[in-house]
Amino acid sequence: MDRMETPPLAKERTDGHDEPSPVSPRRLVGRSVRRLEDPRRLRGEGTYVDDVHVPGMLHATVVRSPRAHARIRSIDATEAKAAPGIVAILGARELGGDLRPIPVRLVPDERLLRYLQRPLATNRVRYVGEPVALVVARSRAAAEDAAERVEVDYEPLPPVTDASSAPPAPLFDHTPDNLASLIEEAFGNIDAAFARAERVVRLAFRTGRHSAVPMETRGLVAVPDRGAAEGRGRLTVWGPTKVTHFNRSVLAAMLGWPEHRIRLVEPDVGGGFGARGEFYPEDFLVPCAALRLGRPVKWIEDRVEHLSAINHSREQRYELALALDSDGRFLGLRAEIVNDMGAYLRTHGTVVPGLSAGMLPGPYEMQAYRCRVRCVLTNKTPTGTYRAPGRFECNAARERLIDRAARLTGIGRMDLRMRNLVRPERMPFARGTSILGEEVVYDSGDYPAALAEAVALSGFRMSVPDAVPGAGARAGAGSASGDAPEARPESRAGSAANAVPVAPARESGARAESGTRSDGGSYGREEPGRYRYGMGLACFVEKTGTGPFEGARAFLDRSGALVVATGAADLGQGLETCLAQIAGDALGVDHAGITVRHGDTDLIPHGVGSFASRGTVMAGNAVHEAVSELRTRVLERAAARLGVPPGDLAIGPGGLVRGTGGRSCTLAELAAEPGLEMVRYFRCEQMAYSHGVTVARVKVDTATGLVVPERIWLLYDVGRVVNPSIVAGQIEGGVAQGIGGSLLEELRYDDTGQFLSGSFMDYVLPGTTDVPTILHRDLGRSPSPRNPLGVKGAGEVGIAGVGGAVANAVADALADAEREDDELPLTPERVWKRVRCNPSPQTPAAAAAGGRNPV
C-alpha cells in the first residue's frame, strides 16, 4: 500500500508556493504553484462584465413570457414608450427579418433546424421566461419600469410538461408527437445476449431537471464604434466567454456583418459549468440593439431571470435491462431513455442525450448494447450541457442498476464490478459507441486498480453498521479515520509525488458523526433505528479533451517576457496558471512572469474554447508546441549572437541565456529584433478518457427522510496533472455540485408549465454545511497517449459519479437496493415516502443475519 503513505506535506507546500527555483526539466508542470488569477480575484480587482462602464451606455432588460405555451395575439408598447427614461422597445415586429434561428454549435444536423430558437418569440411562446421584447432605457431601473408596462395579449395553448406521457399538444405543428430526435446506439447482438442470459435485472431511474448556477450571472456590454449603425467601424462585445470565436461567427451571421468587424472579449468570469457562455437569445439582442441605436448597451442577467433563462439540464428517464450470465458477467445492456429537451433545441442540439447514449456502458465490458433516446420537446426552458452532461445521469442510472443486480444475484457490489471492468491490457479499448461524432475509444486507464484503491481509501468493504443509536455513527467514523487509511490526498504527477492539502478546513464531519449539525443545532433525536447509515460507490469513465483543435500564439515582448494567447477561455478554473506552467517549462522560465491572454477574438484568428474538460488538453498542448518552437528560435538567435552551438545553451532564471565559457545574453536583448513569435494549432482527432470511482457514505433520518452526506471519497486518474491544487479544486467543486444534484437541486414546474424554482428560496443549492468532507486521491497511472503532455481533462471528474454513489448509499442505508425504481434528487419528502412504503426494512438483527447488501 505504498500509495497510502503520508506524503511530505509541509515540504511540498513550501516549494509549491513558490519561490524562483533552480532550473530543472519539467519544473513547473506537476506542482501546485499558486494561481496567477487569484491575487486580482481575491482582492476584488478582477474586471467582470458588470464592471465594464462605457460613456453613454444604455441599459436593457428582457420582457419574458409569463406563460408556458400561448399564441401572442398582440404586443402593446404604447404605455411603455411613455415611461421615463425609455429609449427603445424592440419586439419581433421591430426586429422582424433579423430574427434568425440560433444555430447548433456541436454536431449540427439539418433535421434539428426546425426546432431552433429565435432570439425573440415571434407569434408563439413556448416556455416561461422566453424573451418577447427587449426594453432599452437610460438605467436598468427605468428599463424595468417600462418593461412592466409592455402589454402582451396571450391566447393560452395546452402546456406540455411531461416528456414521458402522450402530449396534450404539439409545440411545433409540424411535429405532432413532440419528438425532436431519436438517438440510437448499439453494438453486438443484443437479442442473442438476452437469450443467453442467466438473469435479467431491470431498473427505472429518473434524474431531476437542474442546472449550473454560477456565482456571476450572464451579462453583455455591446459597444459599437461611432458610425457602426450606418455600417462603418466595428462592434465590440464584452461578456462572452467559453466559446468566443464560435459566438462571433454566429453573431456575424445573424447580424449580417463580416466577422472581422466584430470583436468579442471575455472579461473575468465567475463560473460557467457548461451553461454559461453559449450563444443565447440575449447574445444577439443586446448587440443588435446597440447597433440599431448607435449606443453602447449593457444587459446584466438578474438571478430571477437566470434560473429560467439559462440552459437547464439533466431531466432524463431511464428504463434499463441488464443481462448477466451465471458468473455475473454482463452480457448485454438495453436502455430506453427519454430526455426532456425543453421548448427548443439550443446550441447543443442533441449532444446531451447523445452523450448519455454513448457513455452509458461506462467502464464495463459487455458483448452487446442497445440504447434509444427519445428527445422530447416540452414547454419548459430549453436544455443544454451542465458539468458532466449526460454522464452524471447515465452513470447514476447504470451504477444503481449494478447495485440492484448485486442485491438480486447475491454477488458483492464491488465483486460484481470487478468481474466486469475493462482491464488495462484491453487499452486502447474501442467502446463500440460514438459521441460528438467520434468513435469512443478509451485511451488508457486501470479501472480495476481505481476500484481497489477507492475501496481501500474509503473502507468501503467494512460497510457500516445499521442504526444502533450512536454506535453507527461512531463505527462509521472509525472506518474512515481509524481502520481505513485516512486520506492524505496524494497526487502523482510526473515523477514527483505531490501533496495536495485537501479541504483540511472542511472537517465538518462533526455534525455528521454525532447527529448534530456543525452549527450546533440538531436534526433530531437519537432513537433506536431512527438513523440508518449506508455506503455506495460508482465507477465511471469521463470523456475529456474534445477536439478538433486549439491554438496558441507565443511571443517574447521587447522586455523578453513571454506572452501566450489562446482561443480557450477561463471561466475561473485556472487556465492562465496551467498554461503559464506549461509555457514556463517549454521555454525554461518561471511561470510568474508569463502573461496568458485568452477569450478575445482579436488575439488569435481561430479558437474553439473551454468546455468538455478540454482547456488543459487542447490549449495546453498548443502552448507546449508553440513555446517549444519559440525556444528553438530563441536558442538559434542566441547561438548566432554568442557564437556557441544552440545545444550548449540554457535559458535560466531572470531570462538569462547562458552558453559555455561564461558567455550570456538576456531574452530582452534577443527580443529587441522582431521574429520571436510563433503560432501553433494543436489538433487531436480522439479524446482522452479520465476515469474514477466515487464513494459516498450517508446518514438517513427515517423520521424526516433527510439524507445527510457524511463523506465523499474519490479516486481518480486524469493522466498527467499540471497543477494538483487546481485539480483538487475541480474535484471538490464538482463533488459539491454533485451533492446538489443528488439531494437538493431541482428545477420544478407545475402542471400548467409555471416555473416553481425562480429564486434561491425555491431552488435549493448546497451550502457549506451541506457539503461533506471530501477525500480524494490521484491514482496517477495512466497518462494519455494521445497528446505530447500526456494530460487528460479533470473538470468533470468530481461530479460524474456522485449521483450514483449517493443513490446507492441511500439504498444501502434503507436496505432496499432491490427496488425497481429510483431517482435523483433524493429529497427528504421522497425518501420519507420511500421509508413509509417499507417502514422497517431491516432490523439490526436481520441485517446482521445477512439481509444487507453484500459489499
Partner 1 sequence: MKPAPFAYRDPDSVDEVLALLAEHGDDAKLLAGGQSLGPMLNMRVVSPEFIVDLNRVKALSRRGTSADGGFAIGALVRQAELEDDPAFAVAQPLAAAALPWIAHRPIRNRGTVAGSLVHADPAAEWGGIILALDARLAIRRAGAPPREVEAENFFTGILETAVEAEDLLAEIRLPPWPDGARWGFREFARRRGDFALAGVACRFEVDGAGRCRSVRIGLVGVGDTAVRARLAESVLEGEPPGAELFAAAAAAVGKEVEPLDDGHASAAYRRHLAEVVVADALAEAWEQDGRDEG
Closest among 69, 217, 66 to 147, alpha carbons compared: 66
Closer CB to partner 1, residue 142 or residue 634?
A: 142
832 binds partner 1 (CB under 8 A): yes
DSSP H or E stretch at residue 392: helix 391-409
The site map against partner 1 for 8-37 (x = CB under 8 A) is: ------------------------------
Binding residue for partner 1, selected from 177, 486, 519, 820, defined by CB under 8 A: 519
Choice between 1 and 761, CB closer to partner 1: 761
Using CB under 8 A as the binding rule, whether residue 303 contacts partner 1 is answered as yes
CA 188 to chain centroid: 31
- Which region, judged by CB under 8 A, interacts with partner 1, from 120-128, 271-279, 535-543, 752-760? 752-760
Interactions with partner 1, residue window 712-741 (CB under 8 A): none
Q: For residue 281, which phi and psi values (nearest 5 degrees)?
A: -50, -40
Q: Which is nearer to partner 1, 724 or 740 (CB)?
A: 740
- What strands, in cross-sheet order, belong to the sheet with 151-156? 124-125, 70-76, 151-156
Closest CA to 729 of 774, 772, 769: 774
* Bridge partners (DSSP) listed for residue 656: 652, 666
Nearer Cβ to partner 1 (673/751): 751
Does 304 sit near partner 1 (CB under 8 A)? yes
CB of 368 within 8 A of CB of 506? no
d(CA 798, CA 538): 12
Neighbours of 53 (CB within 10 A): 9
Q: In sequence order, what are the beta bridge partners of 365?
A: none
- 500 and 725 in contact (C-beta within 8 Å)? yes
Rounded distance between C-alpha atoms, residue 527 and residue 544, angstroms: 47
The 465-504 contact track toward partner 1, x by CB under 8 A, reads ----------------------------------------
Which residue, 762 or 820, is less far from partner 1 as judged by CB?
762
Pick the stretch among 206-214, 243-251, 637-645, 822-830 that binds partner 1 (CB under 8 A).
Answer: 822-830
Which helix (H) or strand (E) is 734 found in, with range? helix 724-739
Of the listed pieces 271-279, 337-345, 436-444, 521-529, which binds partner 1 according to CB under 8 A?
521-529
Is 520 near partner 1 (CB under 8 A)?
Answer: yes
The site for partner 1, by CB under 8 A, has a size of: 36
In the bound complex, what is the minimum distance in angstroms from residue 517's beta carbon to partner 1? 6
How many angstroms separate the first and last alpha carbons of the chain? 21
Site for partner 1 in 563-622 (CB under 8 A): none
Element containing residue 814 per DSSP (H, E):
helix 802-814
Applying CB under 8 A, the span of 31-39, 167-175, 513-521, 812-820 interacting with partner 1 comes to 513-521
Q: What is the sign, positive or negative, of the torsion defined by CA atoms of 481, 485, 486, 487?
A: negative
**Largest Cα span, the chain:** 87
Residue 39: φ, ψ to 5°: -55, -45
Q: Does 759 bind partner 1 (CB under 8 A)?
A: yes
- Contact pattern from residue 148 through residue 167 relative to partner 1, giving x for each residue in contact according to CB under 8 A and a dash for the rest: x-------------------
Choose, by CB under 8 A, the member of 200, 656, 764, 846 that binds partner 1: 764
- Closest distance between partner 1 and the C-beta of residue 299, in Å? 13
Please state the separation of Cα 653 from the chain's center in Å: 37
Distance CA 157, CA 697 (A): 46
Q: How far is the CB of 24 from partner 1 (least distance, A)?
A: 48
Q: Which has the closest alpha carbon to 220: 378, 62, 367? A: 62
Q: Which of 801, 786, 824 is nearest to 731 (CA)?
A: 801
Nearer to partner 1, 426 or 525 (CB): 525
- Give the pairing type, strands 262-265 and 235-238: parallel
Among 101, 188, 828, 854, binds partner 1 (CB under 8 A): 828
Region of 38-46, 485-493, 515-523, 649-657 interacting with partner 1 (CB under 8 A): 515-523
Residues 497, 41: Cα–Cα separation, whole Å: 29
> Min. distance of Cβ 473 from partner 1 in angstroms?
18
Burial of 528 (0-12, 13-18, 19+ CB in 10 A): exposed
Neighbours of 831 (CB within 10 A): 22
Indicate the Cα dihedral angle 210, 216, 218, 220, nearest 10°: 180
Residue 769 C-beta: closest distance to partner 1, Å: 5
Nearest approach in angstroms of CB 41 to partner 1 is 22
Nearer to partner 1, 153 or 750 (CB): 750
Q: Which of residues 674-713 bind partner 1 (CB under 8 A)?
A: 703-704, 706
Q: Between residues 349 and 709, which has the closer beta carbon with respect to partner 1?
A: 709
SS3 state of residue 425: helix
Q: Please, which residue, 144 or 648, has the CB nearer to partner 1? A: 144
Give the one residue of 202, 506, 748, 819 binding partner 1; rule: CB under 8 A. 748
Is residue 4 at the binding interface for partner 1, with CB under 8 A as the rule?
Answer: no
50 binds partner 1 per the rule CB under 8 A:
no
Per DSSP (E only), the strands in 345-386 are 368-377
Please say which residue, 474 or 525, places its beta carbon nearer to partner 1.
525
Stretch that binds partner 1, among 73-81, 125-133, 487-495, 823-831 (CB under 8 A): 823-831
Q: Give the binding site for partner 1 (CB under 8 A).
A: 140-141, 144-145, 148, 302-304, 517, 519-521, 523-525, 703-704, 706, 744, 748, 750, 756-757, 759, 761-762, 764, 766-767, 769-770, 827-829, 832-833
